[in-house]
Each structure stands twice: as C-alpha cells, then as structure tokens.
Amino acid sequence: MDYDVAEETVKQILFKSDAADVLQNVVDYLYKYFDKYSWVGIYFVEGKYLVLGPWNGEQATEHTKIPVGKGICGSAAQSGKTEVVADVSKDDRYLACFVSTRSEIVVPIKKNGVVVGEIDVDSDVSDAFDKSDVVFLEKITDMLGKHIC
C-alpha cells in the first residue's frame, strides 16, 4: 500500500463518514490495506486510564483499560511521543496481548497539544515499522486530533 494513497483515502473517510463511524472506518481501513498491521486499535484517555475504542484484528485484547504510564501504550500517552518498538520481547514495558506480536507502534492523538487518545498498531512482523509508518500515522493522528477526537 502506498502511503500517499492511504493518506488521501483516510482523508476521504474522515470527511465523508458519519461521525459515529469515522474512527471504526479508519481502523478498518488501516487493518485491511496494510498487511503488516496485524492489529489496529484506538485508545482514548479517560482520566488516568486509556480505554479501548474501535479496533480491528483477528483477536480481542484483554488490555481494554491501561493505566497512563504503563505498557507501550501508557508510555506514549504519558510522553505524548510516538513509540516504535522493533522487538516487543526486548522491551520491559510491553504488555502482551497476542503471542504472534513481534513489533508495535503507538502514536498519540493530540487535541490542542493535549493527548486525548492514540492509535496502537501491533505487527506479527519483527521491526515492521519505519519512518514511513511514523510519518503516515502521525498525519492520521493529526487529522483525528484536529477534526474528530
């Protein structure tokens, strides 16, 4: 999947879907068109926790509520910075969801500079996420933070 084409498609989804469906549609699109994205979910900040919203993948995760500061997800929420973990088995913060996961990226969604949520992508491929994924997903979270969340 070409990242520029995907960015355009996500824009279409953002501005043409019914409000209630937008986030699920974005998650569904990312999961379906990027083979290496094995699980895609959006968490929302609710007080001191991250609460799972729309997701798509083969299995549900047990981590539907994560304290801010815990796991890769909680770290990204706390710092407001994108986390890329090339090998989850080597990161002590990692909260395991699926035995097949090898790498993970978490990108905060910010509204007026404040973290309101994040996109979490797990991959069954080691070291699956590079600069292109960071740039692409940060564009998506930027759009979500400005227009949707």
Give the footprint of ligand SME on this chain (CB under 6 A): 39, 41, 61, 63, 66, 71-74, 94-95, 97, 104, 120, 122
Q: How far, in Å, are 18, 48, 55, 137 from residue 51 at the CA level?
A: 22, 10, 12, 20
Measured from the CB atom, is 53 or 111 closer to ligand SME?
Answer: 53
CB 41 within 8 A of CB 59: no
- Rounded to a whole number of angstroms, the minimum distance from the CB of residue 61 to ligand SME is 4
- Rounded to a whole number of angstroms, the minimum distance from the CB of residue 55 to ligand SME is 8
Residue nearest to ligand SME (CB): 71
- Rounded to a whole number of angstroms, the minimum distance from the CB of residue 118 to ligand SME is 10
- Rounded to a whole number of angstroms, the minimum distance from the CB of residue 113 to ligand SME is 22
Measured from the CB atom, is 37 or 39 closer to ligand SME?
Answer: 39
Measured from the CB atom, is 120 or 133 closer to ligand SME?
Answer: 120
Measured from the CB atom, is 104 or 133 closer to ligand SME?
Answer: 104
- Rounded to a whole number of angstroms, the minimum distance from the CB of residue 75 to ligand SME is 7
Contacts 24+ apart (CB under 8 A), 123-130: 123/36, 123/37, 123/38, 124/36, 124/38, 124/100, 125/36, 125/38, 126/86, 126/87, 126/102, 127/86, 127/87, 127/102, 127/103, 128/36, 128/102, 128/103, 129/84, 129/86, 129/103, 129/104, 129/105
Measured from the CB atom, is 11 or 49 closer to ligand SME?
Answer: 49
